[in-house]
C-alpha cells in the first residue's frame, strides 16, 4: 500500500504524522470517505467540493487547489491499482505547539489512503438490519454545523457503542430537540404514504453525497421526496426505512427499537432504489 502524505508517497509501514499534529491532538481537521467502483472514483468532484467547503467553514487553508487535490486522489488510486475500494482523504491543521491555538500550526497536512472497504454481508441487504435509538445526542447545529465533515466523531462513536451493546450494527441519533438527525455514520430515510422522507441538514444530518444521490434517483424514478423534520414516531410508523452512506450504500432497516418496520422486510421503494444505485455505479462515467 502506498499512502500519500503532503505530496509524497510512503509505504504503509513508513507513513507517519507528527505526534504534535493538531488533527491527532485535538481532532482539528476534516475528511472525506470516497468509494471506488470499477476503477472509477464515485462522485469525486462532489466530495472535493464538500472538503473545501468544510475547510472554509473552519478557516483551514488547504495548501493545494481543488484540481490538484482531485489529481492527487486519482494518482493515489492508480499507485495502489485499486479497482474497487475506499479512499480516506484527510486534511489536518498540521503540526503545532501544545495548546488549542491553530495559529501555531504552520502548514496543514494532506493524507490520502486508498484501501479496501469492509462491506456489510449481502444477507443484510436482502433481510435488512435492526437499529436502536441512541441516548447520545447529535452535536447541536449551533455548536458545529453538521455539514462540516470534521475529525470530531466522539459523539458518533459513543452512539455506535450503544448500538453494539444493544446487539445492533447501527443507532439512530436525535438532536437536542428530539428530532431525528442521522445514524452514527449514515443518513436515514423513511417511506411514509408513498413519499420518501429524510431529515433536513439543519436537524443535524450530514449533507451526504450518497444521500444526495438517492434524492436525485428518487426524483428520476418519480418517487415524491421531502427533506423535513422526523421524530421517532415517524420512524416507528414508517412503511419502509433505510440508511445511506459511502460504506453502507443503501441498507434496509427492518426493525427500530424492537418495532418492525412495515412487514419486517425491505420494501418495494427501498429495493427499487438499491437497484437504481447499483446500476448507477456500474456506469463507466461516475
Among the listed residues 8, 149, 255, 284, the single catalytic one is 149
Q: Which of 95, 115, 135 is the last residue of a domain?
A: 115
Number of independent structural domains in the chain: 2
Q: Which of 115, 144, 163 is the last residue of a domain?
A: 115
Could you give the CA distance from residue 145 to residue 15 in angstroms, rounded to a whole number? 31
Q: Pull the grid cell for residue 235.
A: 420512524
Q: Are residues 108 and 138 in the same domain?
A: no
Residues of the chain with pLDDT under 50: none
Confirm whether 242 is domain-assigned.
yes
The pLDDT value recorded for residue 163 is 97
The pLDDT value recorded for residue 283 is 77
Q: Are residues 60 and 97 in the same domain?
A: yes
The pLDDT value recorded for residue 106 is 93
Q: Are residues 47 and 158 in the same domain?
A: no
The pLDDT value recorded for residue 61 is 97
In CATH, what number is assigned to the domain containing residue 215? 3.20.10.10
- What is the tens place of the pLDDT at every residue in 37-69? 999 999 999 999 999 999 999 999 999 999 999
The pLDDT value recorded for residue 118 is 78
Range of the domain at 157: 122-281
Q: Are residues 172 and 257 in the same domain?
A: yes
- What is the tens place of the pLDDT at every residue in 110-135? 999 999 987 788 999 999 999 999 99
Q: Are residues 128 and 267 in the same domain?
A: yes
The pLDDT value recorded for residue 120 is 85
Q: Active site includes 149?
A: yes
Confirm whether 286 is domain-assigned.
no
In CATH, what number is assigned to the domain containing residue 29? 3.30.470.10
Q: Which of 115, 148, 168 is the last residue of a domain?
A: 115
The pLDDT value recorded for residue 266 is 97
Could you give the CA distance from residue 286 to residue 143 in angstroms, rounded to a whole number? 35
Q: Are residues 109 and 131 in the same domain?
A: no
Contact 86, 32 (CB under 8 A): no
The pLDDT value recorded for residue 141 is 84
Q: What global pTM score does this model have?
A: 0.93
The pLDDT value recorded for residue 119 is 77
Could you give the CA distance from residue 177 to residue 129 in angstroms, rounded to a whole number? 26
Q: Are residues 126 and 103 in the same domain?
A: no
Amino acid at each position: 500500500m502506498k499512502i500519500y502524505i503532503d505530496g509524497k508517497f510512503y509505504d504503509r509501514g513508513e507513513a507517519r504524522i507528527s505526534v504534535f499534529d493538531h488533527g491527532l491532538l485535538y481532532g482539528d481537521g476534516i475528511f472525506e470517505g470516497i468509494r471506488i467502483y470499477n476503477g472509477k472514483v464515485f462522485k469525486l468532484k462532489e466530495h472535493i467540493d464538500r472538503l473545501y467547503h468544510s475547510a472554509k467553514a473552519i478557516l483551514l487553508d488547504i495548501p493545494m487547489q481543488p484540481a490538484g487535490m482531485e489529481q492527487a486522489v486519482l494518482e493515489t488510486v492508480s499507485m495502489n491499482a485499486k479497482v474497487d475500494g475506499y479512499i480516506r482523504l484527510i486534511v489536518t491543521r498540521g503540526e503545532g505547539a501544545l495548546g488549542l491555538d491553530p495559529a501555531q500550526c504552520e502548514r496543514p497536512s494532506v493524507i490520502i489512503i486508498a484501501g479496501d472497504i469492509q462491506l456489510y454481508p449481502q444477507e443484510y441487504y436482502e433481510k435488512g438490519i435492526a437499529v436502536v435509538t441512541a441516548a447520545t445526542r447529535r452535536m447541536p447545529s449551533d455548536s458545529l454545523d453538521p455539514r462540516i465533515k470534521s475529525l470530531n466523531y466522539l459523539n458518533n462513536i459513543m452512539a455506535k457503542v450503544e448500538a453494539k451493546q444493544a446487539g445492533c450494527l447501527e443507532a439512530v441519533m436525535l438532536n437536542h430537540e428530539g428530532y431525528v438527525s442521522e445514524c452514527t455514520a449514515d443518513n436515514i430515510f423513511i417511506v411514509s404514504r408513498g413519499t420518501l422522507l429524510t431529515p433536513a441538514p439543519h436537524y443535524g444530518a450530514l449533507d451526504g453525497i450518497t444521500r444526495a444521490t438517492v434524492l436525485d434517483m428518487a426524483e428520476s424514478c418519480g418517487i415524491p421526496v421531502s427533506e423535513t423534520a422526523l421524530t421517532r414516531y415517524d420512524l416507528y410508523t414508517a412503511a419502509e426505512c433505510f440508511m445511506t452512506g459511502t460504506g453502507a450504500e443503501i441498507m434496509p432497516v427492518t426493525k427500530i427499537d424492537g418495532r418492525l418496520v412495515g412487514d419486517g422486510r425491505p420494501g418495494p421503494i427501498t429495493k427499487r432504489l438499491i437497484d437504481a444505485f447499483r446500476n448507477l455505479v456500474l456506469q463507466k462515467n461516475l
